[in-house]
Amino acid sequence: MGKLQNKVALITGGASGIGAATARLFASEGAKLVLVDLNEEKGKEVEAELKANNAEAIFVKTNITKEEEVTALFKQAAETFGKIDIVFNNAGIGRVHPTHDLDYAEWRNTVNVDLDGVFLVAREALRSMLVNGSGSIVNTASMYGWVGSPGSAAYNAAKGGVVNLTRSLALEYAEKNIRINALCPGFIDTPIIPEDDKVVLSTMTPMKRLGKAEEMAKAVLFLASDDSSYMTGNSLIVDGGYTAQ
C-alpha cells in the first residue's frame, strides 16, 4: 500500500517543476490529486499524464493571489473528493533585479505571489482541515528564506516570511492535529531558473550540480506523510550543501 493511499492532496504550482514532480510521486503513493496553477495548458498536460497512469486527478486553474479564486478552488476540491488531507503550498515566482532599480510594482507582485498567495492557500487549507480534524501543509520557502543573496530582495523577504509563517501556523494548530512544515530548496533544475544561470549556480553549490525536482518531491513526501508525524514548524533545507558554507 502506498504512503498516501486514500489521501487527497492539493498542489499549487502543480503544472511545472517541483509541483509536477511531487504530483507524480504522490500519485504513485496512492494519492488523489488536485493540481492548481495559472498555466492551464501545462496543468492539463500533467492531469492527463496522471490519469493515463490510473491516478485520480483534476486540474483547477487558479491564481493564488486572488482570494475569491482560492475559496472557489477549495470548494471545487471538496465537492470532487470530499476532503483535503494534504496541501503542498508551492506556487511561486522569482526574478533577479538590483534593488535600487526595483519598481515597487515588481516588489509587490513578488511578495503578493510568494507570501500573500501562500497565506491565502494556507488559510483555506486550515479551514478545510479543521472540519476534517487533521491535515498536513507543506509550504515551499527557499534556502533564501534562511540566507541572503544580492539582487533578490523581494523574493528573499517573501521566502523568509514563509519560514516564519510556517512556524507561527504550526504553533497555532499543533493541538488541532494539523502539521505545517516548509521545504527550503537550493538551486533546482526547473523552468524558474534561467538556462544561462545553470552553470554558475552549479558552481556555487558544494555538490557542484543543481538539484532535481524529483529530489524535492521525496522531501515533500516525507513532510506531507505520516513519516514525519512528530514534525511541525520545521523548515527542511534541501540544497546540495549551499547553506552549510
| Residues in touch with ligand NAD (CB under 6 A) | 12-13, 15-19, 37-39, 62-65, 90-94, 113, 117, 140, 142, 185, 187-188, 190-193
Question: Cβ(71)–Cβ(78) under 8 Å?
Answer: no
How far apart CA 117 and CA 138 sit, in angstroms, is 14
To the nearest whole angstrom, how small is the minimum distance from the Cβ of residue 169 to ligand NAD?
17
CA angle 95–99–103, rounded 5-degree value: 75
Residue 61 vs 167, nearer CB to ligand NAD:
61
Q: Which of 142, 161, 121, 154 is nearest to 216 (CA)?
A: 142
| Residue 42 DSSP SS3 | helix
Minimum distance of ligand NAD from residue 207's CB (angstroms): 14
Q: Between residues 22 and 228, which has the closer beta carbon with respect to ligand NAD? A: 22
CB of 201 to ligand NAD, least distance (A): 8
- Give the integer Cα–Cα distance in Å for 46 and 24: 8
Q: How far is the CB of 1 from ligand NAD (least distance, A)?
A: 28
CB nearer to ligand NAD: pick between 136 and 142: 142
**Is 144 a known active-site residue?**
no
Give the separation between CA 110 and CA 124, rounded to whole angstroms: 21
Q: Which of 144, 155, 173, 242 is catalytic?
A: 155
Q: Is 202 exposed, middle or buried (0-12, 13-18, 19+ CB in 10 A)?
A: middle
Going by C-beta distance under 8 Å and a sequence separation of 6 or more, which residues neighbour residue 70?
62, 64, 120, 121, 124
Which is closer to ligand NAD, CB of 16 or CB of 228? 16
Which residues are the active-site residues? 155
